[in-house]
Homo-oligomer: A and B are copies of this chain.
Amino acid sequence: MKRIAESTVRRLSVYLRYLEESSGRGLSTLSSDELAKHAGTTSAQVRKDLSFFGSFGKRGLGYSVPELTDSLREILGLARDWSVAIVGAGKIGTALAQDRGFGSRRFHVVAIYDVDPAKIGKPIGPHTVRDFARLESDSARARADIAVLVVPADSAQDAAERLAKAGYLAILNFAPVQLQCPPEVAVRSVNLALELEGLSFELTSRRR
């Protein structure tokens, strides 16, 4: 199968969200044009995106909401649940662990790690902060699928390597560093400083 662009996958998620909302409002079909409006793209783009994976629509009619919902869930790997471990029990890690919406859908936080003795053992929602030294022994028994890395920049690379060795399949990285990981580990980064600096650039350059 041809490689799918990351931008395409992002849009599929957005379509899915709108489909779920539409389903809640009792709609049974949706056109590429309606999907496009709510996803901030064009109808041609919607059709192209979906056509990578098959023919889901009916000509003259549009897409069946329940059918396309199921198909997109299948495509995005959301027909199953994923377990998530939060690595780093700082302010943001703690907030993410408790945030509904982050844990919702098919992603379930199953553990929170930290190296700080002052934090280890502390309760966070239904969890207790575990010693990151136990990562390897924990993982031998039961490992989460995805790690959310919320540690300081200078310990992120080490932590990532241990996660990769311990068999984690994916890392969502919040540390402001370019992680070096073996190719079998999927990595995405969210870098808030970068986003703010992007806004700073726009405000500086594009303002009339």
The interface residues of chain B lying within 8 Å CB-to-CB of A102 are 192-193, 196
Contact of A188 with B178 in the complex, beta carbons under 8 Å: no
- The residue on B at minimum CB distance from A1 is B205
Separation of A203 and B57 alpha carbons in the complex (Å): 26
One of B96, B190, B200 near A92 (C-beta < 8 A):
B96
One of B40, B78, B194 near A10 (C-beta < 8 A):
B194
Kindly identify, within residues 161 to 208 of chain A, every residue whose CB is under 8 Å from any CB belonging to chain B.
Answer: 169-170, 172, 176, 178, 184, 186, 188, 190, 192-208
**A132 touches B (CB below 8 Å):** no
The interface residues of chain B lying within 8 Å CB-to-CB of A178 are 14, 38-40
Kindly identify, within residues 70 to 94 of chain A, every residue whose CB is under 8 Å from any CB belonging to chain B.
Answer: 75-78, 82, 84, 90-92, 94
From known contacts A4-B205, A204-B77, infer whether A199 and B176 are also in contact, taking CB-CB under 8 Å. Answer: no
Contact of B193 with A188 in the complex, beta carbons under 8 Å: no
Separation of A176 and B197 alpha carbons in the complex (Å): 21
**A105 touches B (CB below 8 Å):** yes
Separation of A2 and B77 alpha carbons in the complex (Å): 40
Count the copies. 2
**A13 touches B (CB below 8 Å):** yes
**A99 touches B (CB below 8 Å):** yes
**A98 touches B (CB below 8 Å):** yes
From known contacts A95-B91, A96-B92, A170-B203, infer whether A6 and B198 are also in contact, taking CB-CB under 8 Å. Answer: yes
From known contacts A95-B92, A199-B170, infer whether A193 and B76 are also in contact, taking CB-CB under 8 Å. Answer: no
Nearest first, the 10 A-B pairs at minimum CB distance are A77-B204, A95-B95, A77-B200, A91-B95, A186-B202, A170-B199, A13-B197, A40-B178, A92-B95, A13-B194
